[in-house]
Copies of this chain bind each other. A is one copy, B any other.
């Protein structure tokens, strides 16, 4: 993998880049749609590509539990299994072990937990997680990390940081011996600026090819997110790609780009789509609202996507009111297209050297909080 910075406004500021992988390039800043179970919910891979996505995320934890790495491996890896020929980033499962698994116990060597699907017992170690992602055939691999909630105690954050750094060292060593794809480091560290900076410095010292920033945007105020993000970015090697995990609202995406983030993933745009939340240039709307019963405008009147070209708010509202699958499907397509278009416009503004005024204009028109 090679990461090329094509244009950077100033050190630590927004930048235009290109991530080259053996499976194609990703123009950055980029939004990576979430395909937890080896499917971006409701869409075909062709449609995901139409939305402008060049990379998708799949979740190693979920795929480990179902269908199992042996099924994916025998199918020729994730790309063949799900029919997505482009690059795939896999999540290590750290976050899911902490948020979804039952009866989780953590020790220095790894994590033991029960499956949220059937209660069966499992153990993941940093090495097992690298092996798992190799079997899946991931292009961008994440190490096992320890995730904190918000708020947390300082002692907890210190322990999580130390554990994450030790696991990162083991992950790196194991990946050098037996890994595939490229391995990113994950910067955790909670909500204390000093711990975050330390986490970033210690990960930077391990010399990963890219850096994920985890554990932000989990409930803390947005100002705090952005301040912590700035602190982390300042400590990371500037020539390496930066990936802000789990962030994908319109304002946070644009603010993240403004602070030098290259990659984003988030389940929110697709998850809320399935409940009828549609992103528009003037903010999100809930298409189930009675106000749209007779509204013959496209879901987002300014959007050039197929769903907006071929449907109306009245029809989309009817689909949601009738629990028709086509509703979530069209809303998902639109929201991903909306974000794909947004990052493409951001790249255009970066190329032209006026990212910040462009962003201020977009956010002035976008009147909802997310």
Contacts and interface: CB of A to CB of B under 8 A. Distances in A.
B44 A326 contact: yes
B83 A325 contact: no
- Most chain-B Cβ atoms within 10 A of its Cβ — which of A38, A39, A81? A39
A102 interface: no
A71 B310 contact: no
- Most chain-B Cβ atoms within 10 A of its Cβ — which of A43, A44, A296? A44
A117 B319 CA distance: 15
A45 B319 CA distance: 14
B325 A325 contact: yes
Contacts of A318: 37-38, 66-67, 71, 81
A258 interface: no
Interface of A: 37-39, 41-45, 62, 66-67, 71, 74-75, 81-83, 293-294, 296, 310-312, 314-315, 317-319, 321-322, 324-326, 328-330
Contacts of A296: 74-75
A326 B43 contact: yes
23 contacts: A37-B318, A37-B319, A37-B322, A37-B324, A38-B315, A39-B326, A43-B326, A44-B310, A44-B326, A44-B330, A62-B322, A66-B321, A66-B322, A67-B321, A71-B293, A74-B296, A74-B314, A75-B296, A75-B315, A81-B312, A81-B315, A82-B315, A325-B325
B67 A293 contact: yes
Contact of A75 (B82, B312, B321): B312
A325 B329 contact: yes
A312 to B, nearest CB: 7
Given A44-B310, A321-B66, A321-B67, A74 B315 contact: no
Contacts of A62: 322
- Most chain-B Cβ atoms within 10 A of its Cβ — which of A43, A317, A325? A325
A83 B326 contact: no
A83 B275 CA distance: 22
- Most chain-B Cβ atoms within 10 A of its Cβ — which of A314, A326, A329? A326
A97 to B, nearest CB: 18
A225 B324 CA distance: 32
Given A39-B319, A319-B39, A67 B314 contact: yes
Nearest to A321: B66
A294 B328 contact: no
A311 B66 contact: no
A202 to B, nearest CB: 37
A82 B316 CA distance: 9
A312 B38 CA distance: 13
